[in-house]
Structure formats: structure tokens, C-alpha cells
Structure 1
Amino acid sequence: MSEEKKSEVARKLELLKLRFKEKATTEIGLLQGAVERFRAGDYCASDITSVYHSLHRLSGSAGTFGFAALGEEARSLERLVKPLADTDDGLPERGLTTAQVREVVNEAFVSRVANLASLVSQEQGAPKPHDPSSPLIFGNKTEDSVVLIVDPEPDSARDLTCGLEHYGFLVNVFSSIESALANGAAGVSALVVRDELVIRESGILDALAVKPPIICIGAEDSFTGRYALAERGVDGFVCEPVDIPVLADYMERLITERDEGRSGRVMIVDDDPELLEHYGLVLENGGMEVRRVNNPAQILSVLSEFRPDIMLMDVQMGQFSGLNLARMLRFDPEWLGLPIIYLSSEEDREFQVEALSQGGDDFLTKPVSDRFLLRAVAVRCYRARQRDKLASRDSLTGLLKHSLAKSEIHKEHARCTRLGQTSVVAMLDLDHFKQVNDRYGHRTGDLVIKGLANLLRHRLRKSDMIGRYGGEEFVVALPDCSVEDAQRVLQSVCDHMSGIVFSGGGREFSVTLSVGMAPLGDFRTSDDALEAADQALYRRKQSGRNGVTVSGDEPETVGTVS
């Protein structure tokens, strides 16, 4: 994050703190007047409820803005008043007498309320907004995944480099961890290191503020050795001789998990504008996409438009109960799986369990520090996306399933038609894949399929859609891409796929790829475009495989058959 951006976030948080102080001072003045009336016997049920809610708000928000002492004292007073608030539905009918009220709201209570005003000036210092470059969140993923190989043996380092470059990794080789990390680990997607170097130079890794995924390579595989590496924070281990497709798949999984753990879409619902803005700034500063909702009546419309990974919601917002709102959202099957996390200063475990039974999923107890809020939200967003993947993603490759891939292509076709832009759809098929399964087994066949999936992820853009259409067949959509550029990129994918060496049954082999593509906007429907791409793929198979054919082109007679 730039210094200018950090300064702007700090300025906004400071303004929110000043606004909180002003509101807290006003609220404490109203509290003082209310408790004085209590002492005089001039009160009603709504007054007790109002005092309880005022203390509840102060206890939940003061710590967030750096006034920990004020928050703790307000929480202590809130606990004293809560039994009165729980039985205030018409004082005479519930048997709550003036004597019972005065027993709680006594001289000591009145004095403590009066002292709250002095605590507003006792700022303990709010936590600084979290900097995404700190160890909590890793650096941004670049379009190309940069891998550092640390291996003093030139031959093995060269073999690793050649193998990984086919998958689209940008590889740099070093002979020691110290030299590899001389400029830090910013921008590094993964570190592949000899296990003995990790044991010998672990102090260098411990000193890193930002750690990329670390995979060790070793000649011996044992429980003791693996445990020693785990103690030093290593994320994975591959035994020699290294199977490059296995290593590439391992790295891809770790990199994806790392990158997905730093982002998310969060909807915050809170009627306190200062808290709402504070939480939003903290999460946005940490890389989250945030939508703020101050009026609970807007929840449904914002949900449909924003479609968050998780929702953070206050338990009590004026006339609206967070519990009832959560129950209402579950009326719609579309939101049955949406994680709802309550933000509340409520500490009663029985109440929390009851709240969860009404449709919530978790509690974050106010006040919440900036760092804890960001960590908690990041973890919950990641878990929510993982659950979503189980339903929408192919279990083997992590790519979109057939039906969802077709749905995304349909949306892209509609966008092309509306905006008059050029996009391309392509069908891809592994050549002679049945022979791979027959000769080397289905486990090896699965590794080939995963190899192509990882290759596509690295060679295509983040904006491109990739799906597994079925078996060894894939589909991709390239938005805002000319036919010429798409053909060049997909031919490069074919070239790199043919260069990957797989192992099975004690033998090494390669697999080629055939591609048929069509301009998406040239057809009346997305299904017509897919059919044209499929016909182009058929012509590629007939004319030699291992290459790209565009819909409408004459069949070619060149190409190799694997």
C-alpha cells in the first residue's frame, strides 16, 4: 500500500474517532439525566430500556475507537442494568418496584455514570489500521507466479526450472536461501528448497515478515524428517526423483489457497454509522471488497446486487433485531448457505446459542480490534468460498463445472451482443486420452487432466473463464479478445502442454492438445457458438490434432498425431 493511501485511511479513521467522541459525550449527558430521574422515582419502562441500550452501545463501540476504559466501565454498568431491562415490560405488572430500581441505580451507580464523561478523554490509542503488507495478509498475486528454486546442485535445479516453466511459472534459481531472499519475499509465489538448507538456514525464514508457500525437496522421506520440516513452517514436501506434474499441482494448490485467503466480499449491517464506516475502512484496507448497509430495510436489495461471501450484522439495530433479520433471510433458499456473523457486545452464552439457532453462524464480540476483525473475516470468507466450490467447482481440477461454465458463456455472449465487443469461446480436448488411462492407469490420467487445468490457469488471464466440460474436454471463454490473439495464446498452451513430461508405469510420456474456437458474438446464441467451436475441434482432430482450428477456416493437413 502506498504511503498516500495509508495516510488517507489514517485520516478517515481519525475523523471517525472524533465523531465517536462527540456522540459519546452527548449520550453520556443523556444517561446522567436519566439516572438522576431514576433516583427521584420519575421513570418508566422505556427509560430503563433506553439506559440499557445506551450502555450497550458504548460498551460495544468505545474500544474500537481506542477508549478501552470507557468501554469496560460501560460494560460493567450494562451488566448491572440488564436484569431490570429484561423485566421492564410494564413495571407494575412484572412486579418491578421502585425500591428494586433504586437498589441497582444507587448513589454509586449515579457516580459511575457521571464519571464516564472523564473517560472519554482517556484515550488508550486505537490499533493502527492493518497494513496488508504485514504477515497477516500476503502480497498481491501477480499475473505470473514467481517461483524461487534454492538448490546448490545445478543439474537438478535446471531440470526443475525446465519442467515448471512449461506450466507458466517464472523461475529463478539460487544456491542458498540467503541469496534467494536478499531482497525479501515480496511478489514471490512459492519457494522450492532443498530440505537440508531449510534445516541449516531456518533462521532466515523465521525472520521473514511475509512468507510464501515453502515446498521442500529431499532424497529421503521419513516421519522424523517431515516433522522437522513442519516445525520450521514448511508447507509441503516432495521426495526425489521429483515428478514435475505432481510438484506443479502441489504448488498451484498452495498458491491458490494463499491468494484466496487474502480477499473476500463482505456485507456489513450496522445502524451505528461510525462503527459501520470504521469496520469498512479496516476491511477495505486489508484487501476486502465491502458493502455497508446502515438501514436494515435495504438488506434484500443489496444482497441480490452484491452477493457477498459473508455478512457481518449487529444484533440490535433500533427497531430491528439481527436475529429476526437472519431468520427472515433464511426464508429464501438462495441465502440458506450465506454465513451470518453477529457483531455484538452480548456476552451471555445462552443468548448467543439462541441467536445462532435463529439463523446465525457465529459471533464476534465487540469491541473487536482491527487486526482480529481482519483475520476473522479473512478466514470466514475463505471457508465460505471453499464450501461454494464444493457445489460449483469440479472436484479434480477446481475449474467450473459443465453447467456453470455454460452459464458464464451465456452471460459473456449477452455482454458481447449488448456492447458490440469481441470475445472468443474455445473447446479443448486432450489427444488420445483413452490410451493414457489404458496404459498408465486412471491416477496418472487424473494427473494429466490436472496438469492441463493448472497450465490454463497460468497461461490465461484472470478475467478468462475456464471450465471442465467433461472427461478430458475443457471449455474457455476469453472476453475482449480478438480471434488472432486468442489463437496465438491457445497455440502457446498447446505447445507447452506437449512439452510437459508425465510419468506412469515406469515410463515417461507426453500428451498433446487439440483446440477448436469461435468468435462468440458472431452467433445468435451462446449454444450456437459452442457448437461452432466443437465443430472446429472436430476438424482439428481430423486434420492432425495438436493445434488450434478456428470456426470457418479450411481444414489443415499439418500437425502431429501423438
Structure 2
Amino acid sequence: MGEKTISLSDKIARLRGLFIEQLPERMAGARRLFDILRADPTVGEAATSLHRYLHNTKGTAASFGFLELSALSSKAEELAKAILENPDALPSNENWQQLGGCLSDMERMLEQSALQVGSSDGQSEQKLMFEMPSTKNAAYDTNNERLIYICDDETLMAEQLAAQLQCFGYQTVLFNNTAELRDAVLAKQPDAVIMDIIFPEGKSEGTNVLANLREKHGIRFPAIFVSARRDFDARLRAIQAGGEAYFPKPVSALELVASLDLLTRHSEPESFRVLIVDDEPEIAQYHALILENAGMVTRTTSVLETVLDMVGEFKPDLVLMDMYMPRCSGHDMAKLIRQVPDYVGLPIVF
């Protein structure tokens, strides 16, 4: 029996549970920092740590749906920030009471197990996160047969060519006149068209029809011309009509297939790479889950000393970084990264 697949919602629920388990210890730490500051507001390290804790709690609680806890943390964060930014100005008794009151409300909420997942409109939600459909590789299903239209008034040759292409996995549809081809293209665009040039309507009818589809209808697709004509004018008209290959008759099936493979092959794009830097491992993992579900490749770290090495090894397209972290801010970390010339243009989002 195979291993049970864990849904995105289940993974996020586990992170949410871990966050709840850690809250009592976090609240005790916040209360100790508050008591230190209450006794001596000039202890800058305590103010910095308290502000960072409240900032992290605000963001993490909101991510996991605890909006009331996030709102209390946000209010307390602003009060702690005022202390941090004005170390020489003693906070008023009212400020201390407000900050202490926010912490008490958070502690009371935790003691009463009153944490509730909510939505932005205040209504209770029964589910933390809806399952998101994965978009990864959705547009690149290489198992689908590639559709090729073949238009040639030499029916026998066209049928032989179609049979050969089908042996290589192509789906083919035959047309012996350009009017039918035009209608078919307007109804359903193929992956490529193999087109003769000479038809009863004229010696350049094939190129004229494809040029008209491009210019009048804006329809573009790989076109390969096959023709008994070998002159310069025929080849030039084929290029001007959007032709990307030209084969004089009789056509080598192997050479034609090689050209079709090249023109219709869909290369899967490289996934966008995001490095997530956050001193809260749970929130870093939360963001990673969301981004990976959208088809991106992620790496996470909560250790600032490893960031430069990870940038060099992982080569991210973007760095997603927390603003408030121990020892340095997100801005300081960004400056440190950009001291390396190769990383000057690396996008960093806070």
C-alpha cells in the first residue's frame, strides 16, 4: 500500500498546531521582557526582542487564521515600537497599561483556549485553508498527440506522409484544398501545418493562404512548406508567409519529422525559485507550502549565517525575507547579500 498523500490543508493544519503548542512559552517570554522593560525602559535589547516577538506573532497568527490574536499582537507591537524608537523618552503610565493590557488579553485568550480561526469579515471559518489546485506543469502535457494539418492536392502523397507521421506519434488531418484548411484553422488551431505551395488556384496559393491567416486573423503556428518548386521566389514567399522550414519534393519523412519535433516540442519552463528567510520556522514553512503548491521551488532558512551560502547554492530568482529578525533587520541582511556583485540585482521582498 502506497504512502498516503498529505493535502496542503493537512500540512498547514500541522504547522498551525505547532504554533499553538509554542504559544505558552512565547507568552511567558513576552511577559518577562515586559517586566524587564517596566522596571527599566532603557534596556534596549529587551525592547527589541519584545517588538520582534509581537511582530512575528502578529504575522503568524494572521497566516493561520487567528485574527483576534493577530489584532492584539498588532496593537501591542505598535506600543512596543514606540518604546524602541524613543529610548530616551519614558513611556507614560497609560502606554504601560495599554501594553500590559494587550499581553493580559493574549494570555487570557490562551488560557481559555479561545483561539478561533476566523475570516477577514469576522465570521468563523470551519476550515483553515481551502485546497488549492496545483498549477504545476498544467500547460505542458507532453502525452497529448500533436495535431498536424497537411494540405496538398496530391492526395496519395499526402496520405503516405500522414501515415508516416502517425508512426511518430503525430495526429494528422488531411485537406486537398486551401479553403477547407482555412476553415479548419479558424475552427481549431493546429500545432503545425505542412503546406504545398502550388494549387489549382495558383502557383503561390499555399503561401498566400497562410500569409492571409497571419495578417488578417492574427493566427500564428509553425508552418512547413513542401513543394516541387525550388526557385528563390518560392522560398522567399514561404519565409514571408511565416514558413519555418522548406522541403523540395520528394520529401524525406525522417527529415520532416526531425523538423516537426523541433518546431512543436514544448519545453517545460524552469520553476521559479524562492528563498524564504524568516526567524520563525513555522511561518517560513507555511509560505513555502503555498508557493510550492503554485509550482515554485523553495528553500527556507531561519539561520542568518547560512543565507549567503544558500543564495550561492540554490540560486533563487527571488528572496522573501522577514523584516524583523534577531541580530539584524531584513534591510541589513539585504545589504549584506548585495555586497556580493553577483547578487546586486537579486529581487528581495520583505
TM-score interval, normalised by the smaller of the two chains? 0.5 to 0.7
Establish whether residue 42 from structure 1 lines up as the match of residue 49 from structure 2. Answer: no
**Contact 1:266 / 1:308 at 8 angstroms: preserved in 2?**
yes
Establish whether residue 53 from structure 1 lines up as the match of residue 35 from structure 2. Answer: no
**Aligned-pair distance for 1:65?**
2.3
The corresponding residue for 1:481 is: none
The corresponding residue for 2:331 is: 323
The corresponding residue for 2:220 is: 238
Q: Secondary structure at the match of 1:315?
A: coil
Establish whether residue 101 from structure 1 lines up as the match of residue 95 from structure 2. Answer: yes
Identify if the C-alpha distance between structure 1 residues 218 and 97 changes in structure 2 by more than 3 Å, giving closer, same or farther: same
Q: Secondary structure at the match of 2:309?
A: helix
**Contact 2:214 / 2:220 at 8 angstroms: preserved in 1?**
no
- What is the alpha-carbon distance in structure 1 between the residues aligned to residue 264 and residue 331 of structure 2? 37
The corresponding residue for 2:345 is: 337
Q: Which amino acid aligns with 2:61?
A: A
Please give the residue correspondences for 1:27-38 in structure 2 after superposition, counting only pairs within 5 Å: 27-32=26-31
The corresponding residue for 2:133 is: 131
- What is the alpha-carbon distance in structure 2 between the residues aligned to residue 72 and residue 169 of structure 1? 59
Q: Which amino acid aligns with 2:85?
A: D
- What is the alpha-carbon distance in structure 2 between the residues aligned to residue 323 and residue 254 of structure 1? 43
Establish whether residue 269 from structure 1 lines up as the match of residue 277 from structure 2. Answer: yes
The corresponding residue for 1:141 is: 140
Q: Which amino acid aligns with 1:316?
A: Y
The corresponding residue for 2:61 is: 62
Establish whether residue 280 from structure 1 lines up as the match of residue 316 from structure 2. Answer: no
**Aligned-pair distance for 1:32?**
4.8
The corresponding residue for 1:121 is: 115
Establish whether residue 305 from structure 1 lines up as the match of residue 313 from structure 2. Answer: yes
Identify if the C-alpha distance between structure 1 residues 238 and 75 changes in structure 2 by more than 3 Å, giving closer, same or farther: same
Identify if the C-alpha distance between structure 1 residues 332 and 102 changes in structure 2 by more than 3 Å, giving closer, same or farther: closer
**Aligned-pair distance for 1:87?**
1.4
CA RMSD of aligned residues (A): 4.6
**Contact 1:268 / 1:313 at 8 angstroms: preserved in 2?**
yes
The corresponding residue for 1:366 is: none
Identify if the C-alpha distance between structure 1 residues 170 and 126 changes in structure 2 by more than 3 Å, giving closer, same or farther: farther
- What is the alpha-carbon distance in structure 2 between the residues aligned to residue 60 and residue 252 of structure 1? 48
- What is the alpha-carbon distance in structure 2 between the residues aligned to residue 266 and residue 5 of structure 1? 27
What's the CA shift string for 1:374-417, capped at 9, x where partnerless? xxxxxxxxxxxxxxxxxxxxxxxxxxxxxxxxxxxxxxxxxxxx
**Contact 1:310 / 1:339 at 8 angstroms: preserved in 2?**
yes
**Contact 1:32 / 1:113 at 8 angstroms: preserved in 2?**
no
TM-score normalised to the size of structure 2?
0.60
Q: Which amino acid aligns with 2:311?
A: L
- What is the alpha-carbon distance in structure 2 between the residues aligned to residue 102 and residue 281 of structure 1? 39
Larger Rg: 2
**Contact 1:194 / 1:218 at 8 angstroms: preserved in 2?**
no
- What is the alpha-carbon distance in structure 1 between the residues aligned to residue 307 and residue 13 of structure 2? 28
TM-score normalised to the size of structure 1?
0.40
- What is the alpha-carbon distance in structure 1 between the residues aligned to residue 115 and residue 12 of structure 2? 17
Please give the residue correspondences for 1:177-256 in structure 2 after superposition, counting only pairs within 5 Å: 194-195=185-186, 219=213, 237-238=219-220, 243-245=242-244
Structure 2: which 5+ runs fail to align? 119-126, 175-182, 190-210, 224-237, 246-258
Q: Which amino acid aligns with 2:60?
A: S
Structure 1: which 5+ runs fail to align? 89-93, 175-191, 199-216, 227-235, 343-562
- What is the alpha-carbon distance in structure 2 between the residues aligned to residue 193 and residue 72 of structure 1? 59
Q: Secondary structure at the match of 1:7?
A: coil
What's the CA shift string for 1:410-455, capped at 9, x where partnerless? xxxxxxxxxxxxxxxxxxxxxxxxxxxxxxxxxxxxxxxxxxxxxx
**Contact 2:319 / 2:347 at 8 angstroms: preserved in 1?**
yes
How many pairs were matched up?
A: 272
The corresponding residue for 2:21 is: 22
Identify if the C-alpha distance between structure 1 residues 220 and 289 changes in structure 2 by more than 3 Å, giving closer, same or farther: closer
- What is the alpha-carbon distance in structure 2 between the residues aligned to residue 243 and residue 97 of structure 1? 74
**Contact 2:147 / 2:172 at 8 angstroms: preserved in 1?**
yes
- What is the alpha-carbon distance in structure 2 between the residues aligned to residue 291 and residue 219 of structure 1? 47
Instruction: Kindly indicate whether structure 1 or structure 2 has the higher relative contact order, using CA contacts under 8 Å at least 6 residues apart.
Output: 2
**Aligned-pair distance for 1:8?**
6.1
What's the CA shift string for 1:241-274, capped at 9, x where partnerless? 974539x99x979955xx43x7122222222111
- What is the alpha-carbon distance in structure 2 between the residues aligned to residue 63 and residue 321 of structure 1? 21
Q: Which amino acid aligns with 1:318?
A: P
- What is the alpha-carbon distance in structure 1 between the residues aligned to residue 108 and residue 219 of structure 2? 60
**Aligned-pair distance for 1:144?**
6.6
**Aligned-pair distance for 1:122?**
0.5
The corresponding residue for 1:439 is: none
**Aligned-pair distance for 1:295?**
0.9
- What is the alpha-carbon distance in structure 2 between the residues aligned to residue 154 and residue 115 of structure 1? 77
Q: Which amino acid aligns with 2:62?
A: G
Identify if the C-alpha distance between structure 1 residues 58 and 253 changes in structure 2 by more than 3 Å, giving closer, same or farther: farther
Q: Secondary structure at the match of 1:237?
A: coil
**Aligned-pair distance for 1:143?**
5.4
Percent identical pairs in the alignment equals 23
**Contact 1:267 / 1:312 at 8 angstroms: preserved in 2?**
yes
**Aligned-pair distance for 1:68?**
3.1
Q: Which amino acid aligns with 1:86?
A: E
- What is the alpha-carbon distance in structure 2 between the residues aligned to residue 169 and residue 62 of structure 1? 53
Q: Which amino acid aligns with 1:132?
A: S
